[in-house]
Structure 1
Amino acid sequence: MSAGWVAGATRARAMAAARAGPRAARELAAAPSLSEALRVLANTVYRRGLDPTAGPGQAQRAVAGALLWQLRVLAGWQPRPGAAVLRLLASGFEIANTRDRLRSLSGAPQPPPHRLGALATAWPRLSRATSPAGVRAVLAASEWGDPGSAAPAALLTGMRLSAAARTAAQVPVAARWAAGEAALVLAREVHLTGHRLTGTAQRDAVRLLGTAAVRAPAFTEFRARLPASARWALEGAEEPKDLWRAEARWWPSVERDAVSMLARAGFDMSPVVGAAAVLGADAWRVRAALECAAHDGRALEAFDELLG
């Protein structure tokens, strides 16, 4: 046991304990208006960068920014291996930045990118790419790997599967989450939108889900051929149109595992991974609550269903 892991794990547990939690999220969801929900949110860990006059999209982005800031602070308390783990678990922010960059290359406005700091993998170079082909070249020369195509959908799918495969390989306690996420990504991209996997995306999918599942010609066969480590993520999704429910259930399942990690004694990687996961789940729930409040609470029943 090193002093670095002791400090990192202690900080992780403290930050996880300070999250808003399900009760506060439901209070937000039940607020009579978004402005009232933001007033309540200003008393939580999400107050950083929060504009009380923001619309739902801006408010949700501020919540994501607050989560990223927490992960950056947590990474600063870790020994080098812990910081590397958090960089992997925060991969979604670099993927989001890349998605926004690709949209801007086709003429859409680009919001300010998430500030990744030491959690960046290839973002400074990706931000300077002037074409999708340029984005592909940067990815190919980095840990992300070559997605095999410069099509925006292929670039982003390749990144998501790359992050899942590297997480499963390098963070064993999160391997189940990574496999479940990969199953959801593949189900949506292949069986709902009809895209093909290319390059390292195909390789990473096979590593996580097996050749039989990846080559399945239809959604029902895909579900049946998934390994147990990934099949759980598609429970209840009988057809591709049901995937949104499965995707929503992924976070609560991850959170349950993560809470168990935090409850165990020890000063190692597990509480750090658990803290990152419960913070991510908390931010996901708060973002959903803000969406509900923006609709004057009319979606409260759906929100309660998501909470399980």
Structure 2
Amino acid sequence: MEGGLVPRSLLTNKDVGGTSVGRDELRQLFGKREGAIFDNPKPTGLIKKLINISGLNGNDIALDFFSGSGTTADAIIQLNANDGGRRKFILVQLPELSDEKSEAFKAGYKTIADITKDRIRLAGQKIKALSPLTALNLDIGFRVLKIDSSNMKDVYYTPDAVKQGDLLAQVDNIREDRTPEDFLFQVLLDWGVDLALPITQETIASKNVFFVDGNALAACFETGINEEFVKALATRHPLRAVFRDAGFGSDSVKINIEQIFKLISPTTEVKSI
């Protein structure tokens, strides 16, 4: 390592702690229990050591494909609190069920991911409580995203598979069980927008509108969209605006929407899904 010692290939319990230390850390966060909330958790000392060896700092992102109990997130929160860094983490966890006989299941954690999420919340709260001034501007928030099927209905059918009565059902191409948040994150993924950007909601002309990163993106997925609403939204001059394709009150509104934006906010990119 430049300006320091070459790291050793053997990391001992004395240097970074062992599984018993990892269990003690979880007990301190989740409260004393007779059994372990998670089997064989890694100690945060080990992850912090590996992060320091890797040179992860500043605004770097740590990716952990086997998040388990969430040790990586806990370690990064601690490091950021210690040195004022703004490291981020992405944790990936399969929807693995907790053993019904386990301490975790008895405590209400049905999946491993449930343990992970609560551990991150508790780790952030602990840092805030122990060092309120140091952690004053510390970002301990996180977002949970789950893989799901497409928001869009299947629209590719052979002619003999579609009956006359089925045609009206194809007017709206979005599945009925999806929420506006589902649509929003689909748009963020389609446009390659950072999923960690701040999101706010406002009511404009009686319609709920999502704003991502200020005016970087405005999204409204309600029905009955009229020209009055479109004009009001255009005065906010968002960089991008997105609507539900079946949400327009009439065909004329759908046709005129781009012209309205060209007059009021010509730099806005308009899209419908």
Q: Which has the higher contact order (CA 8 A, sep 6+)?
A: 1
TM-score for the superposition, normalised by structure 2? 0.24
Q: TM-score, normalised by structure 1?
A: 0.22
Larger Rg: 2
Whichever structure has more strand as a proportion of its residues is: 2
